[in-house]
Amino acid sequence: MPENAARHDEIKLVLPAEPEYGRLARVTTSSLAIRLRFPYPAVEDLRLAVDEAIILLLRPEGDPGEITIRFTVDGDTLTIDADSTAGSHQHWVDQGALSRFEAIVADTVDSFAVDESGHQVHLVKHRA
């Protein structure tokens, strides 16, 4: 892909909301970031941010469900949107889990957001 070529691709990954499937999300994130020529530190940052998003979205005390991750490539920007149906009866986010997520992810991506129920995570990383 030429350095200045604009791309707009979307990749969708649907996983059971179980901790052992988090590895697939991390590998997919790393592989995509490498393909997009993100520098190695940014690849590691993205992998960590997605790992923390998965941890936040898991609801061990709730109903089983799925985590859907959408990776959107738009030029030099990678946007990651993750949604969980696990624990759908729980309409709040654990504040300790949210604080941990924010503390770790703040330094790894350019911007992030979590909905008030903790069922949706939005991450954005620009290639430097």
Write out pLDDT tens, residues 36-60.
999 999 999 999 999 999 988 986 6
Of 80 and 117, more confident: 80
For residue 1, what pLDDT is reported?
45
Tokens matching residue 13: 């990954």
d(CA 73, CA 36): 9
What is the reported pTM?
0.88
d(CA 29, CA 50): 7
For residue 106, what pLDDT is reported?
96
Lowest pLDDT segment from 10-19, 40-49, 80-89: 80-89
The arrangement of secondary structure in 8-126, i.e. its CATH architecture, is 2-Layer Sandwich (3.30)
- The H or E element containing residue 95 is helix 95-105
Compute the average pLDDT of residues 3-19.
Answer: 80
User: Across-strand partners of 69?
Assistant: 13, 82
Highest mean pLDDT among 4-8, 13-17, 18-22: 13-17
